[in-house]
Each structure stands twice: as structure tokens, then as C-alpha cells.
Structure 1
Amino acid sequence: MTDFIYEKDADGIVTVTMDMQGQSANTMNERYVPGMDQVLAKLRAEPDLKGVVFASAKKTFFAGGDLKLILAIQKSDAETFHYIEENKRPYRDLEQLGVPVVAAINGAALGGGYELCLACNHRVIADVPGAVVGLPEVTLGLLPGAGGVVRLTKLLGLEKALPHLTEGKPVKPQAALKAGMVDAVVPAIDDLIPAAKAWIKANPETHTQPWDQKGFRYPGGDVLHPKVRQMIVGSSAFLYSKTRGLLPAPAKILDIAVNSMRIDYDAALRMESRGLCALVMTPECKAAITTFFFGMQAIKSGAVRPQGDRWKAANAAILGAGMMGSGIAWAHANAGLPSVLKDTEMDKAEKGKSYTAMLADKAIKRGRMDDAKKERLLSQITPATDDAAFAGTDIIIEAVFEDIALKEKVIPETFKQLGPNGIYGSNTSTLPISILAKACPDPTRFIGLHFFSPVDKMKVVEIIMGEQTSEETLRKAYDYVQQIGYMPIVVNDSRGFFTSRVFGTFMDEGISLMVDGLSPVAVERAGWLAGMPVGPLAVHDEVSLVLSQKVGKTHKALDERLGVDSGFGKHNVASKAVCDAMIEQGRGGRHYGGGFYEYAADGSKTLWSGLAQFAKGNAEIPMEDAIDRLLYRQAIETLRCLNENVLRSEVEANLGGIFAIGFPAHTGGAIQYIRGIGIDAFAARAKDLADKYGERFALPDSAYDILRNKEALAA
């Protein structure tokens, strides 16, 4: 029992300390069930056993299922069902041990870890940083399959259990105590074992779970209770409004939780296993585990970060106190990074600082901040109009207007204030970094740092490597982005980089659908059904048609200046034709009073009736085609970026698409979306769309080879 430390004291209480060898956390690995069986056999053989305490030697209590094993499951068959049943069997054996069992929770007890706690008679947790309980399986396209759905429903009742089951949020100690998810809280880890043993001594006969006792009643009422029946109906509608029917796990959890109240306990546990067996093979599950667990882990652990010592900026300067500069100043202040916010006039710089005050006031109103923290945030921002105010700074973020001539003037003037080991970042969304770098005295220390609006909500930064940007500068930029709590996505230089290129295809395809004859209402509906946060017409209004037009003109002028044809946005012909015409009619977007939508004074909006003039066709476009057109355009452009080496990894392609562009999260990102459909099946459907709707969907078969080759290497 190398993974379990077994200790019996003089009072007959055994402490089982979980310590999975060769890994940083306790998980349900291939040694888990045999190890638990050995522990249970030894406990049953103990003379005068009075009780059992489960503890952990790791920083966390128990992390739950081994996701590598789950991801490797290829069939939803009898073997998979048996695997799931075997993993949960020890918990049922534990419930029937005949002595009090206590979970001593020293850190995170999530998923299978908290399910172990639920199988215990008593749960005590230390009120320390990192200690949480919860069932986050739903966020990975799964359900709690080791008894979590059935036991939590019995412990809390359906109404209180459902949010924890269908949302999967971790719960801190005091909140968990209030919710009934744990039974006691102690101030320190050293207090856990003594508290657990004291409870066992005080409750020697408390070893039968409430649901195993005769006359058990569900808290809040059983499934026939009028209030519960009403809540079941409402929950189903609420879940659909949240998931749009795109996520199978929440609906499956609701179904099992409700039906577990109607049948025998052991039968309910088997039903739960069947539900998990069905979910492990869904594309949504594979996508969530691949992207949101292993992908996020790769970003956080630095797997895609250049090697070298960690770097930390001690101070910063932001040039331009407009919307972007003000947002970046907030991000810096929130991370405790002192920053100078410079503009041409002090009133503008002060106004930029006031943005942080406004956000702080909102947080105070919601009870998420106090006045003292607001003052600390504001003290981190120094408005200025003179470059000397940030002499010797570690990082300068140029966030002036998206005009190449202006940037080429500002960059050399302000670079001289950079510290000897500092780096210079340009916040640009489409302008080539390699061209801007020509204005920089040291292009090796120049890099693109593309923040997204609004900065306080969009926690991702696209880092753009110029042709001469050094790996040291990239490493420092990567560390800076993580220092302020944002997700870094690294790309190589190109027109529009990655995010702007792909986002432009989404907006353009929405307009293309409208031009082809699909009603604007149906266009927006297709975006909703596809899983996009906002419809393509609505989001274009927010970005503004004027900005889209300016970007096009900027790149046309850049092409003329360089004597090249970059081909930037060459497929976005619908956007150019319609946007130019709408701007001529005074409709530049929401900021300009109206665009695709009319905006009322009360905040409501309706689609503009004049959009009918742009319908050139009268095609009967199936909704399936409309949805695919919106998603395939983005996925194909993402694949182009990967194929052209603009994107450096699938991980960054997937996470960048979801968090920066809003590509539907249930797909796991654009490249995972292709893999989920199947590379050959996706290519065939893309060809079908190209034949029906145009060459923008066409890709040579060789473009897919990068995915096939990676697949072959993985195999």
C-alpha cells in the first residue's frame, strides 16, 4: 500500500493518509482501486476498529479522476461501464464499513475527491488558502460518476444540489459549511486529525448514511413535492437558455438527479455510471478535457513559454489614455504594477485614470471591493504628459490610435525612456509588428501586445513576434502578461495576426448570409445556435463599421507603400460592399447612432429595416448551412494561420479563439472543432460549402496535412 499510509492509534482509530507516489496530487489512477481494496480489506480485519479518518499527504486532498485515462477511452461499451463502476465501488464499500468515517480535508477536494468525502459520515475542512470542495466535472463535459450526483442530491436535496452539480464551481470552507457540503471547519491543517478523531469518539454509532436509514426523506421534499416538481420544469428551461442545447452534460446531470429520487439507491448509482459512460465519448467532453484542462495547464505551466528565468516588471508606462490605455492601466493597478499613464493633455490622462475609479466604484457597490483597495489601485496610476515621468521603466505599452504614421512617430520618441533591460510593446490589432519595429531603435526589444476590449473583462493578450524580436523579449512579454493575470497567446507576425483575421471572417460571413437572402433575424439566430456569444451583425455594430472600413483602408495604403499585395481580407468582400454603403447612409455602428441595429433611448435595439436593400439573392439557405458557414469560416481561417505558421501551437489556437474571439466553448476551439468532426469529414464538408457558396471555404488538401501529421505523431 505504497499510495496509502495506514496508522492505527491506541483508541482504535485508523488514519489513512493518501499519498499517490510519483505525482503531485492524489488521483484515481490505475493503482487507486487496488490500493483502496487493500485498505478496506485491512480495515475489515481490524479488531476493535472504532473509526477511520481519510487524510492527504499532498497539498490538495484528492483531485479525482485521472483525465488522461478518461481521454484515452475509445468506446462507450461494457468495458467502459465496468471501469466506471469499479472506480466508484470502494466508496459504497466505505459507506458500509460499520464504523464512523471522517474526511479531513486539507486542500482542494474536487470531483472524485469530494465524492470520497460524500461517502464519509462526516466532513471537516481546514479554513486555509486553496481548501475548496466541489464537483467540477460538468465543466469538462462529464458528470460526477463516483456517486456525486446521487449522494449530493440526497445530502442537500434537489434544489440546493443542482447549482453545484450543473455549474461545478469550487466552494470555499465557510460557504461549504453554510451550504451543508461540509460539517465542520477548523482554523488550521494541524487541527484536522484531532477534530476528526474527537468527532468519532463523540459519535461512535454514527456510521450509517442518512440515505441508508429507514424513513429517509429528501431535504426540501421528494420528487412529487409540488415545489420540487415546479423547480424541475423551471430548471430544464433554465439550463437550455444557458447551454442552448449545445452541452449534453448539464441536461444529463439534471435527468439523473431527478430520476435518482425515484428509484433504489444502488440502481441510481448504476444509472449515474451509465450517464458518465455516455458522456465520456461525446465530442464536447473530449474537447473540454483537451482544451480547458490540458490546454490551460500547458499555458499556466509554461509549456509553450520560451525557456529561461522568470522576469517581473517593477514598473510600466502606458502611452495613450483612451479606452485601451485606460483599461490596461486598470489591469496593471489590479496586479500591483505601478504605471505612468501618459497622454498629450493632463485632462485626458486624468480621465484615463478615472476609468479605474469607475470600475472600483462598481466593485464596491457589488461588495467585491472596499474603499481602501480602491485607493491602493488609484495610487498605482500616475497621470503624466511628459516622457521624463517614466524614465528607466521596465515595460512601455504604446496604446495610441491605430494609425501607422502616429505610431512611427511615438515609438522612437518614447523608446529612449526604456530601462536597459526593459521591453517595448505596441498594442495594435492589425498593423504588422515587423514594420512598426523599423521605427524602433532596437527592434529586438520590440513586440506586439494586443489587448482586447473591454480590457477589464477580456483576460487574454495576443503576443506578436516581429521578424527581429528576440526570444528574451518574448519570454519577458510572456511573463509580463501572466504577471498581470492575463492569458498569453503567442503568434508570429502577419497582416491581422490571428485574432483579427479570424474575427473578421465571422462578421463577414454574417453579412454574406444576409446578402445571399437569409433574413437578418435568421442570421443572428444562426450565430446563437452555433454558440457564438453575440450574433455577427450585432457584434459588428459594437466593433463599428467605421473601424472595419478604416482597417481596410490602412492595409490598402500599407500595400501601396510597400508595393505589395498582402491579400489581407481578400475573402471579406461582403463586409466591404455593405459597410461602405451603410456608412454612406450614416450608419457606422452603435457608437455612431446605429448600424445593423436601431438603438432606443431605453437601451433596447431592433434590426434596421433598411437591411433588405442588401439582399442580392433569394436563396433557401438551410439553418444547418448557415451555422456551418459561420463556424467553418472561422475554423478554416484558424487552420490557415496554423498552416502559415502565424499560430505556433494548437493549444494557443483553441484557447485564443475561445477567449479572444468567442469561438463556441463547447467545441474546445477551432482546431479541436475540426478534430472533433474528423479531419477528412471536415475537409469534405468544407468542399461542399465551397461548391455551394464560394472559394472562401476552399483549402487545398495539403493544408490539412499539418493536423494529420500531428495526429500520426501522437499515435
Structure 2
Amino acid sequence: MKFEGNTLRVASNDAGIATLTLDLKDSSVNKFGAQALSELAQVVTQLGQDQSVKGLLICSAKDAFVVGADITEFLTWFQLDDEALAQKLREAHDIFTNISNLPFPTVAAINGLALGGGFELCLACDYRVMADSAKVGLPETQLGIYPGWGGTVRLPRLIGVDTACEWICGGQQKRSADALKEGAVDAVVAAADVVDSAQHLLEQVLAGKLDYQARRDALQAPMQFSPIEKMMVFESVRAVVGAKAGKHYPAPMEAIKTIEKGIFQALDKAIETEIKGFVKMAKSDVARSLVGLFLNDQQVKKAASQYRQHATDIKHGAVLGAGIMGGGIAYQSASKGTPIVMKDIRHEALDLGMSEASKLFAKQVERGKLTTDQAMQGLAKITPVLSYGEMNDVDIVVEAVVENPNIKQSVLAEAEAQLRDDAILASNTSTISISHLASALKRPENFCGMHFFNPVHRMPLVEVIRAEKTSDETIAKTVAYAQALGKTPIVVNDCPGFLVNRVLFPYFSGFSALLKDGADYQVVDKVMERFGWPMGPAYLLDVVGIDTAFHADQVMAQGFPDRMGHEGENAIDLFYELKRFGQKSGMGFYLYEQDKKGKPKKLKSEESVKLLQGLHGETNDLAEEEIIARMMIPLCIETSRCLEENIVATAAEADMGLVYGIGFPPYLGGALHYMDEMGVAAFCDLADQYQHLGKLYQPTDKMREMAAQQRRYHPY
């Protein structure tokens, strides 16, 4: 048999072995779109009718096997009515079922990533041979859905219920060693040998040394469990998954329900069970939000990819200012292979920075991500210095000294005099205007902002801030450097706070106003954490640092006095005066002590309660809905302002900035998506109920125009 299409091709050898090669034209990866499914359906039908074919090998011409479904196409599926969506799923299932029922054995040669529908294709085959460098997985729950092409049916039968639930509900990519150990694949070989090994396995089956039909019969039949076994397995799984997923992410628990029902059904009935649950999840608000985030992430990465060619221009970096932040930046650069100089004026600071980097490398060794030798080699890429002598030939310098404009300007001017004329100078300021800092420089075109978030090694976002005189080349090289560090860069224009902190401080202002009106900060924290934030506003302020928040609040109040200024003393002012700086001082809104692992443990502070009662009076009970509205409205309106004023170029970048930068609840999709889902008109109506609280609660004219015209921020 021979077939040549736009997404795959088929050729047979003299022994009757057909090789189906996945090769999507004009794409660097294979993914399943409508055309790929159509061609696969056509080929599978022809293979089943061709009596000369004795066995089928499925492989890929790309570095990856199949990365999954084409989400941009399948988003239109989710907009169909329930029965139309179910029918689309059945048509895809028919293809995979026909593969599993072909009148000859089938083997998948997994050379690279096989995710989602790509891995489900592998599961439909009788055998799987995997490259040692490849990864497999079913990540659909991360999009608010679960596997919809047989993953919940075939994987439990293959590797066991509890392991399959962990794979599906966790949505993680699995390495070859784990996939082999847990029974998801039959062999692991070197990447160069994967196709030959798969063909050899197929020849062994054809020679009668392996019984593929017996394997099929076992995998297609209902599973056998006693009532006690079933109860023990699923109660345990539900407890673990439920604790991790939380109430805002229903897909993992729905997947467990589907698996629990499907394992006692014949294959065709189990598939219908999977389809029914998938339709339910695909229609949920959470799926729309998480799929929207995925598309936004792709758009942000695409916007940044245009600068990738400049990554090679940054061969050596430097950071000014050691300590926790400087050490974190130095570690990130060194760990990704770019040598970096770390300069400070004090030995103690350099020791702290090197200690921070050393701890981070040690953790990678503990987790098995690095060997001790690799960690030592990484640490050796950091050069601690007290003078500028080692910085004559660096390509980029990130200033990370204290958040004070006068000190920063002095350090930046001093550094510029020591650097090559074409070297880039960047400031890690979180709020101070980059154009203001540039006024002290002789080469402002080589200067920009590069705002990392703490802790550097965990937070994925870097804001790259363009000042009035910043050149395009400077932006390009800085974005490329951020990508080389494994970060997601978003280019924003200059203003106090840039994007993330400009949006965050109205959120804190909403919190301060709630305290002024008698809200209990512990109640507010619990409400916002239940709403989906990783930590409430009081706890977040303690983690950020009350001193940092105090100085940033002054910058924001000066930049936007009409809505971010405030009269009288608030909680941040009070705690700053008392040096209750949060975690770093051991007390802020809460008290902190180290746990057994040396991490700060949050404890209730009766003193904080009394201090705030002295400032604002006795606490009052406020409805949960009012707390959420008063916290979220200022944040959402300010995000819209940033888009309107071109601080951020797109709604996608704005929403991803908030999710990656401050932990905006992913299930809500970002501030602008949150308003889209509510309806901009409904959001404006809600805000109008609180307009007496000031300009932070008053929608912009553009927002009201969008509301009147029923427009959205996002196209999906």
C-alpha cells in the first residue's frame, strides 16, 4: 500500500509491513487537526482492506511524535451543541478503534513528545517502543477537560487504575524510564534506534513469538475488581486528587468518575461514557478559561520568538547587587548556561548571593535533576566580584540594587562608564520609571527595564520595559536573554509599576479600603484564597515585604494620585513604621517561624489584630461577595487602562502577565477574560455599585463603550 498526504504518508515493504509516517507539512511539529484526522481515517480504512499488509508501524518524521490536538481548531468543536460535539468525538474514536481492531499487529515508534491525542494514538496500538529521550502524557486536565480519544478507557486497562488516575489527573509528561516501569510502553531504546527496534518487535509478533490478539482481548474487556478493591482504590485516588485539584478545577475529579464507570464496561460502552463526561467538561467556564490561557500563552511565546535570533548575542551577563534577588538572577543565568558576574560592594552580600545560588543548585541535585558535578559546573559559571574589572566584556548587566531611584541612578551611571559601548544595561526595578532612571545615562538607547519576580527560579515571567529612548535592538536582545533564561518575557511600555505592579497595587488599595471599613484581614485572606488566589492580600504583602510595598505604594501614589493616593495612615504605613516587614522580619500581618524544613510558617498575630483595631476600630462582618467585588474591581479596571494606554500591546499579554506574575487564578483566565465571561456590561454594573469608593471603582469610557456594543477583550 502507498499513500501520500499533507499530514502523513504510508509505504509497505516486501515483508508486508506498512509504515505510517506522521509528517504535517509546513509545520515543525505533528498535531491532530481536521485534515490529519481525515487522512488518518482514510488510511486506516484502506489498511484494513489491504490483504497484503501483515503489520503496521506508526512513526514520525518530526522531532516530536505528536504534540496533541490543534487547539485552535478544536476550540470550534467546543462551541458546538452537546450532540454535535459528541458526534465529532465518536468520529475520532472510530479511527482509533479501527486501528486497535486492524487484522494485523500494530506498533508505535515514539521518537519524541507524544502528548494528548498523540499518546492516545499510541495507546490504540498493540505495542509501543519509546526513545529514551522521549516523553509521553495526557495533559488535558490542565486545559479543564480530560482525554477524549480513549485515554480514560485504554490507559487504566494498560497500567492499572491508580497509576492511570495519577497520569491523567496530574497531566504531567512522563519520562521513558517511568513509562516503561509502569507498563505504558514495551521497550525503551536509543532515539536513533526507535524505528528499527519497533520494526524488529513487529517482526517478532509476526513470527508468532508474541500473542498480540490475547493482549487485545485483555485490554478491550471490562476490568475485574471486587467491591472492596474498587472502594479502596477509588477512595484513595479521590482523596489525593481532590486535595490537589481543589473546587475550581473539576476535570480531574470528573476523569476519576469516568474511569470508575468505564473500567466495568466493554470498550464501546466505556468510550460512550468518556464522550459524555468530555462534553460536560468542554462546555464548562473553566475549560474556556484554561484553553484561553493556553492560546494566550502560545500568542505571547510567538510574539517573543521574533527576538530569538538575538539570543546568541548574549554570551556573558552580569548582575549588580547580590543578596537573594541577585543570587537568584545569577543562578538562573548560570543554570541555563550563560556565565554571569555578580558584583556588590560588600563581601557579606556576595556571600549571601553565592549561598542563595548554591542552595538552588543543591536542590536540583536533591531532586535528581542534576548530578553533583553538573551543579558544581553551574555554580562555577558565577563569578562574585567587588570591582568592575571582570565586567569589561559582558554583553548585558542587570542592576538589582535597593529600590531607591537616587541609588539606582548612581549605580547605573557608574556601571555604564565601565561597560562596552554596545553593552545592554537593564534595571530590575519593580515600579520606578525606566525613562526617569535613563535620564542619568549617556547611552539611554542601550537601557531598558528587566523586571524579574521573586523567587526568580520559580516565577516564569519577566517584564521587559521599553523607555522613551530604548532602541529596538536593546529590547530584542533583552527579550532573547530572558528566553535563554527559560522565562516568558512580555514587552511593556514605561509607566510607574509597568503592567504587573500597576495592576497589583489597586488590588492592595481595595484591601486597605476593606480594612478601613472594618474587614478582618484574616477573613479577607481566606475569602480570596477560596476564590482561587494562591495567597490572600495580607499574606501576599508579608511575602512581598511591607517595606517593599510601602516604597512601591509611594511611587504608585505619585504616578497616579487621582486613584492610588490615599489620605491618612493605612495598614502598610503603620506596619512599615513599626518595622513589621513581613516574613523577612518575622512579623507583619502574621507571625513567622521556621518549620522543620527551614521554611517560614505562618502563625496568627494577636498584636496585628490589636494594631489594626487601634487604626480602624473594631472589625465588621462583610459579605463574601462584597469582599471579592471590592478586591477584584480595581484590579480589572486598571488592567483595562493598561491595555487602553498601550502599556501592554494585547489582551493576551495582559492576562498572561497577571497569571504568571502575581498568581491571578488560572481558572478565571486573567482579568480581561474574567470580565469577558461576566460580560463587560455586567462588570460595569457591578462596579457602579461601588463607585462611591473612588476612581479605582469607576470603569473607563472605553469600557462603557465596549459594554454598550457588547464587545469582548478576547476573540474566543
When normalised by structure 1's length, the TM-score is: 0.91
Matches within 5 A, 1:387-426: 387-426=388-427
Q: 2:22 aligns with which of 14, 18, 38?
A: 18
Q: Deviations over 1:98-145 (max 9, x none)?
A: 3211112122211111111111111111223xx221111111122110
1:38 and 2:42 matched? yes
Q: How many residues align?
A: 700
Partner of 1:591: 584
Partner of 2:696: 696
Q: Check the 8 A contact 2:126/2:216 in 1, yes or no.
A: no
Larger deviation, residues 346-355 vs 498-507? 346-355
With over 3 angstroms needed to count, the CA separation of the structure-2 counterparts of 1:84 and 1:689, relative to structure 1, is farther
C-alpha distance in structure 2 between counterparts of 1:713 and 1:296, whole Å: 13
**Deviation at residue 598 of structure 1 after TM alignment:** 2.5
SS of the residue corresponding to residue 146 of structure 1 reads coil
Which amino acid in 1 is paired with 2:699? L
Partner of 2:140: 137
SS of the residue corresponding to residue 396 of structure 1 reads strand
Partner of 2:598: none
Partner of 2:675: 674
SS of the residue corresponding to residue 570 of structure 1 reads helix
With over 3 angstroms needed to count, the CA separation of the structure-2 counterparts of 1:633 and 1:236, relative to structure 1, is farther
With over 3 angstroms needed to count, the CA separation of the structure-2 counterparts of 1:338 and 1:247, relative to structure 1, is same
With over 3 angstroms needed to count, the CA separation of the structure-2 counterparts of 1:713 and 1:77, relative to structure 1, is closer
1:162 and 2:162 matched? no
1:47 and 2:51 matched? yes
Partner of 1:605: 603
Q: Check the 8 A contact 1:530/1:631 in 2, yes or no.
A: no
SS of the residue corresponding to residue 655 of structure 1 reads helix
Q: Check the 8 A contact 1:461/1:487 in 2, yes or no.
A: yes
Which amino acid in 1 is paired with 2:289? A
C-alpha distance in structure 1 between counterparts of 2:586 and 2:660, whole Å: 28
**Deviation at residue 657 of structure 1 after TM alignment:** 0.7
Larger deviation, residues 12-21 vs 581-590? 581-590
With over 3 angstroms needed to count, the CA separation of the structure-2 counterparts of 1:348 and 1:570, relative to structure 1, is same
Q: Check the 8 A contact 1:643/1:706 in 2, yes or no.
A: no
Partner of 1:269: 271
Q: Check the 8 A contact 2:438/2:444 in 1, yes or no.
A: yes
**Deviation at residue 26 of structure 1 after TM alignment:** 3.0
Q: Check the 8 A contact 1:249/1:279 in 2, yes or no.
A: yes
With over 3 angstroms needed to count, the CA separation of the structure-2 counterparts of 1:416 and 1:287, relative to structure 1, is same
Partner of 1:232: 234
Q: Deviations over 1:173-222 (max 9, x none)?
A: 2221111111112222442443343233244773437474499574xx62
Larger deviation, residues 227-236 vs 117-126? 227-236
Which amino acid in 2 is paired with 1:270? E
C-alpha distance in structure 2 between counterparts of 1:226 and 1:574, whole Å: 65
Q: Check the 8 A contact 1:501/1:569 in 2, yes or no.
A: no
**Deviation at residue 329 of structure 1 after TM alignment:** 1.1
Which amino acid in 1 is paired with 2:60? S
Partner of 1:562: none
Identical-pair percentage: 31
C-alpha distance in structure 1 between counterparts of 2:379 and 2:578, whole Å: 43
**Deviation at residue 295 of structure 1 after TM alignment:** 2.5
C-alpha distance in structure 1 between counterparts of 2:206 and 2:647, whole Å: 64
SS of the residue corresponding to residue 402 of structure 2 reads coil
1:477 and 2:482 matched? no
Q: Check the 8 A contact 1:492/1:646 in 2, yes or no.
A: yes
With over 3 angstroms needed to count, the CA separation of the structure-2 counterparts of 1:436 and 1:493, relative to structure 1, is same
SS of the residue corresponding to residue 383 of structure 1 reads strand
With over 3 angstroms needed to count, the CA separation of the structure-2 counterparts of 1:104 and 1:214, relative to structure 1, is closer
1:84 and 2:89 matched? yes
Q: Deviations over 1:447-484 (max 9, x none)?
A: 01111112122232111111111111111111111112
Which amino acid in 1 is paired with 2:272? R
Q: Which consecutive residues of structure 2, in runs of 5 or more, have no partner in the other structure? A: 596-600
Which amino acid in 1 is paired with 2:36? Y
Partner of 2:340: 339
With over 3 angstroms needed to count, the CA separation of the structure-2 counterparts of 1:576 and 1:135, relative to structure 1, is farther
With over 3 angstroms needed to count, the CA separation of the structure-2 counterparts of 1:621 and 1:322, relative to structure 1, is same
**Deviation at residue 305 of structure 1 after TM alignment:** 4.6
Q: Check the 8 A contact 1:111/1:136 in 2, yes or no.
A: yes
Q: Check the 8 A contact 1:121/1:206 in 2, yes or no.
A: no
With over 3 angstroms needed to count, the CA separation of the structure-2 counterparts of 1:519 and 1:552, relative to structure 1, is closer
C-alpha distance in structure 2 between counterparts of 1:598 and 1:416, whole Å: 45
1:686 and 2:684 matched? no
With over 3 angstroms needed to count, the CA separation of the structure-2 counterparts of 1:668 and 1:324, relative to structure 1, is same
Which amino acid in 2 is paired with 1:590? Q
C-alpha distance in structure 1 between counterparts of 2:357 and 2:202, whole Å: 50
Which amino acid in 2 is paired with 1:288? L
C-alpha distance in structure 1 between counterparts of 2:429 and 2:562, whole Å: 17
Q: Check the 8 A contact 1:210/1:216 in 2, yes or no.
A: no
1:370 and 2:375 matched? no
C-alpha distance in structure 1 between counterparts of 2:220 and 2:458, whole Å: 50
Q: Deviations over 1:415-459 (max 9, x none)?
A: 022223221101101110001100011111110111111212223
Partner of 1:6: 10
Which amino acid in 1 is paired with 2:124? A
C-alpha distance in structure 2 between counterparts of 1:423 and 1:4, whole Å: 46
Matches within 5 A, 1:634-645: 634-645=635-646
Partner of 1:191: 196
